[in-house]
Amino acid sequence: MGSQWSRDKVYVRALKEGYRSRAAFKLLEIQDRYHIIRETDNIVDLGASPGSWLQVERELTAGIVVGIDLSYIPPIENVISITGDFTDQMMPETVRPLMPFTSVVLSDASPKLSGQKTYDQARAIELGENALRFAEKILKPGGNFVVKSFQGQDFNILIGAVKEHFLSARTFRPRSTRRGSTEIYIVAKNFIGNERNRETSINGTNETEGPL
């Protein structure tokens, strides 16, 4: 009971601090632990509505912040919002002209749940794979990536795919996650580069981390 009570308090605290949802604290925890956002980073946030992660990002960087969601994102000062589907192949081309380079891609996107566990899990993994594909197309070498997923079937496939593209990848479950949820974040740092820019990629060992 104590735990559930303290988690409800998280929501009240979020509102008190002016955040649109309790999700803000998940990103703050990730940032506290992994320092994925630096103060001049340009950020693309996938699945960004209602916008609490965007509020946190706006506080952490002086760079450009872009949020994309299927749902309308109520305006936030100095944040560019796009209503659309980030899995659309043309979306990276829509975002590219908005910033000279992209240093961080974050995805807190989750599919609408049907209640059918296996089906929902498969769709969540697919959405995570799409977020990775988006990041591969747009991130600069050395960039960082965070993606929400759910533990279960095929989760190892997703983290394996992330590890192929980043020098480090860890899994992280924020304390502010609801009890009983299988939600988990993959936090990946130092994008190795895509075929187009791999030659300019930074050097280093192909370190992989995390309890998997």
Q: Are 211 and 171 in contact, with CB atoms under 8 Å apart?
A: yes
Q: Do the beta carbons of residue 166 and residue 50 sit within 8 Å?
A: no
The count of other CB atoms within 10 Å of the CB of residue 131 is: 28
Q: Shortest approach of ligand SAM to residue 201 CB, angstroms?
A: 28
Compare residues 111 and 142 and give the one whose CB is closer to ligand SAM.
111
Report if residue 87 touches ligand SAM, rule: CB under 6 A. Answer: yes
Q: At which residue do the structure tokens 């594909």 appear?
A: 133
76 binds ligand SAM (CB under 6 A): no
71 is an interface residue for ligand SAM by CB under 6 A: yes
Tell me which of 10, 14, 64, 68 binds ligand SAM, using CB under 6 A: 68
> Which of the ranges 106-114, 138-146, 172-180, 189-197 carries the binding residues for ligand SAM, by CB under 6 A?
106-114
The distance between the two most distant Cα atoms of the chain, rounded to a whole number of Å, is: 54
**Which residue pairs, CB below 8 angstroms and at least 24 apart, start in 167-171?**
167/192, 167/202, 167/204, 167/205, 167/206, 167/207, 168/207, 168/208, 168/209, 169/208, 169/209, 169/210, 170/34, 170/209, 170/210, 171/210, 171/211, 171/212
User: Residue 204's CB: how many other CB atoms inside 10 A?
Assistant: 11
Nearer to ligand SAM, 110 or 208 (CB): 110
By CB under 6 A, tell whether 110 contacts ligand SAM.
yes
What residues from 18 to 57 belong to the interface with ligand SAM (CB under 6 A)?
Answer: 20-21, 23, 47-53
Binding marks (x or -) toward ligand SAM, 166..195, rule CB under 6 A? ------------------------------
> If binding is defined by CB under 6 A, does position 144 make contact with ligand SAM?
no
CB of 70 to ligand SAM, least distance (A): 4
- Determine the distance from the C-alpha atom of residue 95 to the mean position of all C-alpha atoms in its chain, rounded to a whole number: 16
Cross-strand bridge partners of residue 128: none
Catalytic positions are 148
Closest distance to ligand SAM from the beta carbon of 204 (Å)? 30
Q: Site residues (CB under 6 A) for ligand SAM?
A: 20-21, 23, 47-53, 68-71, 85-87, 108-111, 127
